[in-house]
């Protein structure tokens, strides 16, 4: 076992223990019942304890191994942020912006997670994916999502319309296009 593996397993075991403890804590107020009439808390609590034990075993076994040189790989922060962010953005904005614009955003954002990203290819990829998906999911399959959403509509009362309206009025505080 190399030192990196050792460190990794110690951390892994600790995380497993934390997850087990978390489930045990949240599930502590569930009714255990008895072995013969198990309550909703029986299974979760037993499994949480097993989980903690497994975490202990993983860390313990790793600690027993001799120490070696240490080393670590850096986390790909840009990728993590952009890709997880792209998914979160989708969830957040798909109903408001509609499928086509939100997909443009998702593809563009995630494309930038790659070191090979280039503006022209990213934009055409985003346009292609958005066009294909809106055709397939909205036209063919009837997924209940708008092509472009209410945030982009110019009807009365919609946020965009309000932004446009408020731009003409003085004394309006705060951005209307909130969240």
Partner 1 sequence: MLRKKSTFIAAAAVVASVFASPVLAQTYPNKTIRLLVPYAAGGGTDAIARVVAQGITAQLGQQVVVENNGSAGGNLATQQAAKSDPDGYTMLMANQGPMVVNPHLFKNVKIDPLTAFDPVTLIAEAPLVVVVPENSHITSVKQLVEEAAKAPGKMTYGSAGNGSASHLATLLLAETANLDMVHAPYKGAGPAITDLLGGRLDFMVTTIPSVFGFIDSGKLKPLAVTTSHRTKRLPDLPTIAESGWPNYQAAAWYGFAVPKGTPPEIIKTLRDATVAAINSPEVVPRLAIEGAEPVGNTPEEFAAFMKQESARWAEVIKKAGIGLD
Partner 2 sequence: MELLGDLGLGFATALSPFNLLYCFIGVALGTAVGVLPGLGPIATIAMLLPITFGLPPVSSLIMLAGIYYGAQYGGSTTAILINLPGESSSVVTAIDGYQMAKKGRAGPALATAALGSFFAGTVATVLLAIAAPPLAEVALEFGPAEYFSLMVLGLVASVALASGSLLKAFTMIVMGLLLGLVGSDVETGTQRFTFDMPEMADGLNFVALSMGVFGLGEILRNLEHEHTRSVMVKHVSGLMLSKADLKRIAGPVLRGTGLGSVLGILPGGGAMLASFAAYSMEKRLSSNRAEFGKGAIEGVAAPESANNAGAQTSFIPMLTLGIPSNPVMALMIGAMIIQGITPGPNVVTDEPELFWGMIASMWVGNLLLVLLNLPLIGLWIRMLTIPYHLLFPAIIAFCCIGAFSVNNSTFDVFMMALFGLVGYALIKLDFEPAPLLLGFVLGPMLEENLRRAMLLSRGDATVFVTQPLSLGLLLVSLGLLTAVLLPNIRSKREEAFSE
Q: How far is the CB of 178 from partner 2 (least distance, A)?
A: 18
Question: Which of partner 2, partner 1, none binds 77 (CB below 5-8 Å, type-dependent)?
Answer: none
Q: Which of 74, 156, 168, 170 binds partner 1 (CB under 8 A)?
A: 156
Q: How far from 55 is each of 4, 44, 114, CA to CA, in Å?
A: 18, 16, 34
> Measured between alpha carbons, how far is 111 from 99 in angstroms, rounded to an integer?
18
> Measured between alpha carbons, how far is 35 from 54 in angstroms, rounded to an integer?
23
> Is residue 166 a contact point for partner 1 (CB under 8 A)?
yes
Helix-helix angle 119-133:99-111, to 10 degrees: 150
Q: Considering only residues 70-99, where is the footprint of partner 1 by CB under 8 A?
A: 92, 95-96
Nearer to partner 2, 83 or 163 (CB): 83
> Is residue 176 a contact point for partner 1 (CB under 8 A)?
yes
Which span (34-42, 148-156, 164-172) binds partner 2, by CB under 8 A?
Answer: 34-42
Contact (Cβ atoms closer than 8 angstroms) between residue 19 and residue 26:
no
> Is residue 58 a contact point for partner 2 (CB under 8 A)?
yes
Tokens 């109903």 map to which residue? 95
Q: How far is the CB of 162 from partner 2 (least distance, A)?
A: 23
Tokens 């255990």 map to which residue? 32
């Amino acid at each position: 076992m190399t030192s990196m593996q050792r460190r990794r397993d110690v951390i892994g075991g600790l995380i497993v223990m934390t997850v087990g403890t978390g489930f045990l804590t949240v599930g502590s107020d569930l009714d255990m019942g008895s072995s013969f009439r198990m309550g909703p808390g029986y299974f979760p609590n037993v499994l949480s304890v097993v989980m903690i034990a497994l975490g202990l075993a993983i860390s313990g076994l790793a600690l027993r191994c001799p120490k070696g040189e240490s080393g670590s790989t850096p986390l790909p922060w840009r990728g993590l942020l952009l890709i997880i962010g792209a998914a979160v953005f989708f969830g957040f904005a798909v109903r408001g912006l509609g499928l086509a614009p939100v997909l443009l955003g998702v593809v563009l954002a995630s494309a930038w997670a790659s070191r090979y990203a280039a503006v022209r290819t990213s934009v055409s990829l985003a346009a292609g994916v958005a066009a294909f998906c809106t055709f397939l999911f909205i036209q063919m399959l009837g997924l209940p999502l708008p092509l472009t959403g209410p945030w982009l509509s110019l009807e009365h009362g919609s946020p965009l319309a309000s932004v446009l309206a408020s731009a003409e009025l003085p004394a309006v505080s705060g951005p209307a296009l909130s969240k």
